[in-house]
Amino acid sequence: MPGSNIKLRKVEIDFSDAKIHWSPNEPEFSQTWNAMSTAIPYLEGFLIKALRQTKEHLPDDLRREVDLFISQEGRHSKVHIKFNRVLRDAGYDIEPWERKLQADYDRFLKKGMKFALAYGEGFETFGPILSSFFFEGAPDLTTEWDEPTCYLWMWHLAEEYEHRHVANYAFKELYGDYWYRIYALWFTSVHLFSYQLRLANLLIRQDLERGLIRGRRASRLRFARVTARLMAYMLPRVLFVCHRRGYDPGELPPPKNVMAFLDEASERYGVVEPV
């Protein structure tokens, strides 16, 4: 099983010098992912609850994988919470959006274990694709790896590749329902990425009003361009790889430089040995 390589890295990032616009030439790209960062603590909390409730129904080896998955996602949530304070301190009004998202996830949990796990599997399907986008598909947008917020996303998405198989294997073990998986994949896509793009639009609009981004028309064009670029990268992979009946995320090859990045992160921050 590919999960034997999952490691619990003790990543801590100091955001005291973090930039809001951490992709210098594309502030709209930065705000698009800053918007997603606001969702992460609630999303990860939901994923942890969804996977935790499956554990007693899984075989021992997969149960161990779930524990490692939960530990990684918990660390992601903790570090994103630190960055989200930077957004609040900079004057962005993100609390109403966070409250609405938390209410959504509370409601989704009440739909039952199958839906919650399928939603989690849907989001995790995008993990290795986004990892590949950041490491291979957008080198011009993610050049400053030492910038705290850029590093946050490179680390987070590298680990998304590392634990890419866990939710998928758990769903297959318990349900194996192909059409329900596809339904949940698209439900998750619409729910989460609409949140991301709508909030990003608000953050960008606030930047324009405050003079942090200049040129409304140029900003709209950049936002449309980076959004279209991301969609053009993701959609073929979702449609022609992830929709296959025999789709196995464990077989996906690592994006370029991902494993070297994870090795460097392990050395820099240390690794927690699982109990």
Burial class, 161, CB count within 10 angstroms (exposed 0-12 / middle 13-18 / buried 19+): buried
| pLDDT of amino acid 4 | 61
Residue 144 has pLDDT above 90, yes or no: no
Give the whole-angstrom CA distance, residue 15 versus residue 27: 18
| pLDDT of amino acid 76 | 98
Choose among 52, 47, 62: nearest CA to 4.
Answer: 62
Residue 117 has pLDDT above 70, yes or no: yes
The CA-based angle 23-242-180, given to 5 degrees, is 115
What's the whole-number mean pLDDT along residues 246-264?
Answer: 96
Residue 205 has pLDDT above 80, yes or no: yes
What's the whole-number mean pLDDT along residues 7-20?
Answer: 95
Residue 142 has pLDDT above 50, yes or no: yes
Residue 2 has pLDDT above 70, yes or no: no
Choose among 213, 192, 235, 209: nearest CA to 44.
Answer: 192
| pLDDT of amino acid 237 | 97
Question: What is the band of 158 on the pLDDT scale with cuts at 50, 70, 90?
Answer: very high
Whether the Cβ atoms of residue 13 and residue 76 lie closer than 8 Å to each other = no
Residue % of the chain over a pLDDT of 70: 98
Give the whole-angstrom CA distance, residue 275 versus residue 185: 33
Residue 239 has pLDDT above 50, yes or no: yes
What's the whole-number mean pLDDT along residues 264-268?
Answer: 96
> What is the value of pTM for the model shown?
0.95
| pLDDT of amino acid 1 | 60
| pLDDT of amino acid 3 | 47
Higher local confidence (pLDDT), 3 or 51: 51
HEC sequence for the chain: CHHHHCCEECCCCCCCCCCCCCCCCCHHHHHHHHHHHHHHHHHHHHHHHHHHCCHHHCCHHHHHHHHHHHHHHHHHHHHHHHHHHHHHHCCCCCHHHHHHHHHHHHHHHCCCHHHHHHHHHHHHHHHHHHHHHHHHHCCCCCCCCCCHHHHHHHHHHHHHHHCCCHHHHHHHHHCCCHHHHHHHHHHHHHHHHHHHHHHHHHHHHHHHHHCCCCCHHHHHHHHHHHHHHHHHHHHHHHHHHHCCCCCCHHHCCCCCCHHHHHHHHHHHHCEECCC
Q: Which residue has the tokens 């990684």?
A: 72
Q: Roughly how many angstroms between the first and final C-alpha of the chain, as a whole number? A: 19
| pLDDT of amino acid 126 | 97
